[in-house]
Structure 1
């Protein structure tokens, strides 16, 4: 049986399993310890960060290794995620949906990747100090390989998707989070370290291939979610999948460059075009097989 969340736009809300338990232990306190200068992934490609800076007016050095010592601010209702114990709590606090996303995504990878290490999401507001350096909300959700954790400002994510022209909603948010956990898988398997040796940019660069693979891995979670035991999320609908694909389109490098008011410059791409990102998300979903997500051995990136 699925639960109905009242008082919300039903077109943007996914189905949640009535009575399903949530595990808030997968939510951190908003900031990881500083251990060095690793590069944050998923929100941190230099070209994309500068473009986002033009759109939102923030200091791009925040995610590029700035040394500001301003402490993280867990802020608002985000710190209450520790109180999310069951799906029914989503009715009381909509932010609890992020615990549901996280629990489901990690339950999937525990069954797919031998030795998968469960990690945490760290909601924050404004700025956060991580093992990869200081970051601002405006960068969007990102994964820090140095502390192996995902960081996001929940309130700003909705604004970011809206600013980039995405329809938003639960499935769009879940896609973004599943993409970041795709980076965690890449980090655990060594793919990330190998790709980061190449600092080039462009539509077929190693960085773009890394991002497209994370999109594909996110798609495999969408395809297999219905088979996850005790998942708090119900079956995805065609509408959910359309929202996820739309979010992939919105975060394409070419679309972001257009949003900045400039022309499209493929040589500067770090994450992939809208078409590339949609293509690999759909490959992940249509095959449901992470082994089909090898973006590094093909010249056909979509």
Structure 2
């Protein structure tokens, strides 16, 4: 999170609350879509199911062939023209000095830990020594599928003439847009595998979440400008594009433009924010978010809950709150009996430490969201309550992207929200501590995005 300057007298009062809270708690040709895993995904990945103990080169080639088989039928249906198979589809072994040099690169070092599509050679190439085994270890089969599907997605762009258009007008077709389209095409392909399983490749809800985590793992480093010619997108933007493809069609992806696509990737706003990697200390985060969330959710009261006043965050639950319900809600809780909101600093700290400050911030915001939903007349318990908590916390988060107030998102904060939503159900739990048993990380992110993109009205169905 980024905090701009606050009046000195405000921070004098803050110290008291902080104490109370903590006391309780380079080649000549264009290579499109280079896939480079992030150094630290920052989130616990479900135990992956490896592809097999067999030959990963053979398996990867089979996956690539299955992807092309899908596009042989879907490409004509979506775009009214036949699919032309890729000219070159092959693994590369940069660890082998005798390896034949792949097209479009000057040395094997350029392939190390990467996958790419080269339009001039119509070639998809990937590192079979480092990248594929790592993806298999970290994410199982879905990790390999989405990377190869992404690169083949770039070949779809080439077949539609977008590669030429992008070279002619890079301002209209920046890299980040091309990458979003390719992520979208990967989502389309994965959805097809889920609907019509390929032999030996099961894609169910858990595998779909693993694919989302792989997308998170391939986000840009913090602070990269969305206008950078190397920008691929932050985790929120990449997962959003993947979801749009999974829930949409190939024409959904082809229709993405700068006019209908908003990218949330941002640079650091200050040297101080960059130095701390966008993270506030937990105590400062809690105090700053409490004040900001009360202001924003309170501003919605005249429309959705006349007369309601958001409560000030408590350092511990009040006596009116059932202990079991408080514990079941997790690091932050909403008490319908008296409308109070409280945190468990000891439970927030691991989220803050393992994922980042907005992981804790999202969970707190979701309790304000649940409080507003209840004041609106909604039940504090049940599936709709959990969805409202996710959606309204998304609407609140959107307000922070380019906020002109003293509290705003830093690069990486939206990514932390996505990671938290995939990793656990905290933000989607109702006042009894129950979450939708049928929802998975993919679903929670989708509901959160509904609020981010549609605002409060989308959450209340208006």
Distance 1:227 1:240, change over 3 A: closer
For residue 223 of structure 1, what is the aligned residue in structure 2? Answer: 191
CA contact (8 A) 1:252 1:273 kept: yes
For residue 270 of structure 1, what is the aligned residue in structure 2? Answer: 231
Distance 1:265 1:104, change over 3 A: same
For residue 84 of structure 2, what is the aligned residue in structure 1? Answer: 117
Distance 1:235 1:300, change over 3 A: same
For residue 211 of structure 2, what is the aligned residue in structure 1? Answer: 244
Q: 3-state SS of the aligned residue for 1:167?
A: helix
TM-score, length-scaled by structure 1: 0.61
Q: How much does 1:100 deviate?
A: 2.3
Q: For 1:46-92, what per-residue CA distance to the aligned partner results, in whole angstroms no more than 9, with x for missing partners? A: xx8xx99xx7xxxxxxxxxxxxxxxxxxxxxxxxxxxxxxxxx9654
Provide the aligned length of Structure 1 versus Structure 2: 212
For residue 148 of structure 1, what is the aligned residue in structure 2? Answer: 122
Q: 3-state SS of the aligned residue for 1:236?
A: coil
1:186 aligned onto 2:162: no
For residue 55 of structure 2, what is the aligned residue in structure 1? Answer: 93
Q: 3-state SS of the aligned residue for 2:231?
A: coil
CA contact (8 A) 1:141 1:176 kept: yes
Distance, in Å, in 2 between the alignment partners of 1:92 and 1:130 is 24
Q: For 1:153-201, what per-residue CA distance to the aligned partner results, in whole angstroms no more than 9, with x for missing partners? A: 1121146659xxx93211111100000000111111101221233446x
Q: Which moved more, 1:126-135 or 1:291-300?
A: 126-135
For residue 17 of structure 1, what is the aligned residue in structure 2? Answer: none
> Which protein has greater RCO, CA pairs closer than 8 Å, 6+ apart?
1
Q: How much does 1:275 deviate?
A: 0.6
Q: For 1:266-297, what per-residue CA distance to the aligned partner results, in whole angstroms no more than 9, with x for missing partners? A: 4435211111000010111112x111112214
CA contact (8 A) 1:109 1:116 kept: yes
1:281 aligned onto 2:242: yes
Distance 1:236 1:129, change over 3 A: same
Distance, in Å, in 2 between the alignment partners of 1:98 and 1:110 is 18
For residue 291 of structure 1, what is the aligned residue in structure 2? Answer: 251
User: Can you give the 5+ residue segments of structure 2 that lack an aligned partner in the other structure?
Assistant: 1-26, 40-50, 77-81, 265-462
CA contact (8 A) 2:183 2:238 kept: yes
Distance 1:93 1:301, change over 3 A: same
CA contact (8 A) 2:113 2:127 kept: no
User: Can you give the 5+ residue segments of structure 1 that lack an aligned partner in the other structure?
Assistant: 1-35, 56-88
Q: 3-state SS of the aligned residue for 1:225?
A: helix
Q: How much does 1:217 deviate?
A: 0.5
Q: How much does 1:148 deviate?
A: 0.5
Distance, in Å, in 2 between the alignment partners of 1:178 and 1:220 is 9
Distance, in Å, in 2 between the alignment partners of 1:235 and 1:161 is 16
For residue 141 of structure 2, what is the aligned residue in structure 1? Answer: 170
Distance 1:91 1:156, change over 3 A: closer
1:157 aligned onto 2:131: yes
Distance, in Å, in 2 between the alignment partners of 1:290 and 1:247 is 21
Distance, in Å, in 1 between the alignment partners of 2:201 and 2:112 is 31
For residue 58 of structure 1, what is the aligned residue in structure 2? Answer: none
For residue 211 of structure 1, what is the aligned residue in structure 2? Answer: 179
Q: For 1:99-119, what per-residue CA distance to the aligned partner results, in whole angstroms no more than 9, with x for missing partners? A: 221121001100011321112
Q: How much does 1:241 deviate?
A: 0.8
Distance, in Å, in 1 between the alignment partners of 2:194 and 2:218 is 26
Distance, in Å, in 2 between the alignment partners of 1:90 and 1:183 is 27
Kindly name which structure, 1 or 2, has the bigger radius of gyration based on alpha carbons.
2
Distance, in Å, in 2 between the alignment partners of 1:232 and 1:196 is 39
1:39 aligned onto 2:30: yes
Q: How much does 1:212 deviate?
A: 0.5
Distance, in Å, in 2 between the alignment partners of 1:138 and 1:223 is 29
Q: For 1:202-224, what per-residue CA distance to the aligned partner results, in whole angstroms no more than 9, with x for missing partners? A: xx962111010000011101111
Distance, in Å, in 2 between the alignment partners of 1:242 and 1:159 is 19
